[in-house]
Amino acid sequence: MIMNGAGNRFAVFDARERPRFELTPERVEAISKPGSSTMGPKGADQVIVMRTPKAQGADVFMEIWNQKGFEVDACGNATRCIAWLVLRESDKEEVIVETNDGLLRCRVPKGMEVGDMQVAVNMGPPKLEWDQVPLKEPMHTHHIDVKVGPIDNPVLSNPGAVSMGNPHCVFFVEDFERARPDKIGPMIEFHPLFPEQANIGFARVDAPDKMRLKVWERGVGMTLACGTGACAAVVAAVRQKRGSRKMEVEVDGGTLFIEWREADDHVIMTGPVELEQEAVV
């Protein structure tokens, strides 16, 4: 199948009844490449494999590969897509998607029905300690010591660091043209402070409850949407007193609604899914 979540595009393989189905980094790269016979001119941001769950109570296990052929632990937009498929086939209102980072509870948003093209995902609590992100050395993660440009007049500085199952570094900007996400993103992705590389967010807060976001995704590049990136950006905005705990996040591919609940510290992401092609790929 070919699906996307707010423009974040995925090749989806259902291997729940094919236990011998395996991917190699070379095959992932071939599938993802723009112009491939599988994905067409747009290519894929990630390749997803649905497998029989390992954990008791889970409905499906989601295996996630980025387009460079590396397996990763989390992808918020893909979680919505896989949850939508399982919600539709089971006719349930809530399912649990298992990932390498843990269990994610997904449900039909309030006021909607099974089959509607929106899904809400409980992404769990953000990881905020330096060794959870992870960073190379101990420091507070509200603001981390990463600067771009002259020391006395940096173009970007004081980003927040957050893990939503994968590491994020979030800069707050006023002007995307000056920030140059497509140029600065790949520079910071490999910054020595991030031993596992990092997804680099560029967030412009337009109102306490509204944000415009662009993300350079590690191993992928600029994406139309990054679900975990939107969650991380809202968490970082709250910690830096730039935004509220409920924010509408506009990305290049659509709009995500993020709530960082104070009661239990969990982050809830609600957003769209699209089934582009249902035939087996």
Residue 267 is given by DSSP the state E
Residues 6 and 106 in one domain: yes
Q: Which one is predicted more confidently, 150 or 250?
A: 250
242 in a domain, yes or no? yes
Residues 6 and 96 in one domain: yes
Residues 197 and 103 in one domain: no
Residues 169 and 257 in one domain: yes
Per-residue confidence band for 151, with pLDDT thresholds at 50, 70 and 90: confident
Mean pLDDT of 233-257: 97
Task: Report the distance separating Cα 178 and Cα 21, nearest Å.
Answer: 46
Catalytic residue among 75, 106, 169, 231: 75
Say if residue 281's pLDDT is above 80: no
203 in a domain, yes or no? yes
CATH number, domain at 82? Answer: 3.10.310.10
69 in a domain, yes or no? yes
Looking at residue 274, what is its pLDDT?
Answer: 96
Mean pLDDT of 130-148: 96
Alpha helix stretches (DSSP H) within 119-249: 176-179, 181-189, 227-239
* Residue 169 bears catalytic tag: no
- Other Cβ atoms within 10 Å of 265 Cβ, number: 12
59 in a domain, yes or no? yes
148 in a domain, yes or no? no
Looking at residue 280, what is its pLDDT?
Answer: 57
Catalytic residue among 81, 169, 226, 231: 226
pTM given for the model: 0.92
The model's pLDDT over 91-128, given as tens digits with 9 standing for 90+, comes to 899 999 999 999 999 999 988 888 889 999 999 999 99
Q: Tokens for 7?
A: 């423009």
- Placement of tokens 């031993």 in the chain: 195
Residues 9 and 106 in one domain: yes
Residues 117 and 11 in one domain: yes
Residues 164 and 116 in one domain: no
Q: Which of 28-37, 45-54, 143-152 has the highest mean pLDDT?
A: 45-54
Per-residue confidence band for 195, with pLDDT thresholds at 50, 70 and 90: very high
For all residues of the chain together, what is the average pLDDT? Answer: 95
Residues 81 and 183 in one domain: no
Beta-strand pair 71-72/60-66: antiparallel
Residues 85 and 170 in one domain: no
43 in a domain, yes or no? yes
Residues 6 and 55 in one domain: yes
Looking at residue 171, what is its pLDDT?
Answer: 98
Looking at residue 153, what is its pLDDT?
Answer: 85
130 in a domain, yes or no? no
The model's pLDDT over 233-242, given as tens digits with 9 standing for 90+, comes to 999 999 999 9
16: domain range? 2-123+271-277
Mean pLDDT of 37-62: 94
What 3-state class would DSSP assign to 194? coil
Task: Report the distance separating Cα 216 and Cα 55, nearest Å.
Answer: 32
Please check whether residue 25 is in contact with residue 70, taking contact to mean a CB–CB distance below 8 angstroms.
yes
Looking at residue 115, what is its pLDDT?
Answer: 82
Per-residue confidence band for 36, with pLDDT thresholds at 50, 70 and 90: confident
The model's pLDDT over 65-98, given as tens digits with 9 standing for 90+, comes to 999 899 999 999 999 999 999 999 998 999 999 9
Provide the number of structural domains found in the chain. 2
Residues 26 and 96 in one domain: yes
155 in a domain, yes or no? no
